[in-house]
């Protein structure tokens, strides 16, 4: 007996196709066929393919936030390192899902829409909260603005993830070392700046 059609069931079917066959294979017709219905039947639950992919992206941002919550302990420096590393690991473990998350312009501002900020904003906010904790502990410099430091961390993590997914001609050893090198180099710079400022040295 076929289960009732719902937005959740449609999104789950689309996600399975995306993971197993790639983003190019996702279409309303393909999703409908996998559910044993016709494509028009989906329109009662999704507007179009864009709406469907945005629904998948929202779920994946939630999964990413869960990873961040799992590294909520420890000092701010270690926590920021693990958050950035988990971001890169998620991308490498879920390449097609990660690409789908950024098909649309992510909301990386602090502006709220409705009851809570967009999920991409909440990912940046998680970085920001950790940076602010580090500033309060004296591990990171308060200048520039913690939000700018958090955006810099996100940029470094996202850039490393994108580089690894783009298939650069790197040998296996360099690919394995890139995530830690990118994250550790950035955090070393942030902590060095804080130490320099505490001694009155212009870095």
pLDDT, averaged across the chain: 84
Higher pLDDT, 31 or 141: 31
Q: Any idea what DSSP says for residue 102?
A: T
pLDDT computed for residue 2 by the predictor = 62
The pLDDT tens digits for 16-68 are: 999 999 989 999 999 999 999 999 999 999 999 988 998 888 889 999 999 99
Judge contact between 31 and 13, C-beta under 8 A.
Answer: yes
Structural domains in the chain, CATH included, are 1-46 (1.10.10.60), 55-198 (1.10.357.10)
Q: Which pTM was predicted?
A: 0.82
Q: Is 117's pLDDT higher than 80?
A: no
Confidence bin at 169 (pLDDT 50/70/90): low
Mean pLDDT of 121-135: 90
What is the maximum alpha-carbon separation in the chain?
A: 72
Q: What is the pLDDT of residue 192?
A: 66
Where residue 22 falls (left for φ over 0; alpha for ψ -120 to 50; beta otherwise) is left
Q: Give dist(CA 94, CA 66) in Å, integer.
A: 15
The pLDDT of residue 199 is 53
Cα(119)–Cα(64) distance, integer angstroms: 10
Q: What is the pLDDT of residue 116?
A: 52
- Res 15 pLDDT > 90: yes
pLDDT band at 190 (very low <50, low <70, confident <90, very high): confident
pLDDT at 113: 46
| DSSP at 44 | T
């Amino acid at each position: 007996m076929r289960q009732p059609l719902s937005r959740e069931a449609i999104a789950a079917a689309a996600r399975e196709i995306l993971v197993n066959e790639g983003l190019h294979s996702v279409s309303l017709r393909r999703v409908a066929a996998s559910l044993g219905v016709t494509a028009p039947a989906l329109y009662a639950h999704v507007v179009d393919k864009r709406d469907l992919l945005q629904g998948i992206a929202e779920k994946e941002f939630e999964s990413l936030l869960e990873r961040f919550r799992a590294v909520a302990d420890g000092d701010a420096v270690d926590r920021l390192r693990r958050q950035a590393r988990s971001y890169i690991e998620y991308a490498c473990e879920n390449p097609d899902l990660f690409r789908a998350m950024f098909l649309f312009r992510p909301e990386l501002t602090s502006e709220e829409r409705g009851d809570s900020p967009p999920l991409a904003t909440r990912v940046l906010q998680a970085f920001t909260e950790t940076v602010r904790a580090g500033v309060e502990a004296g591990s990171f410099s308060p200048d520039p603005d913690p939000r700018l430091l958090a955006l810099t961390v996100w940029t470094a993590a996202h850039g490393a993830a994108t580089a690894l997914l783009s298939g650069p001609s790197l040998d296996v050893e360099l690919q394995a070392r890139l995530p830690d090198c990118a994250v550790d180099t950035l955090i070393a710079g942030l902590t060095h700046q804080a130490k320099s400022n505490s001694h009155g040295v212009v870095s």
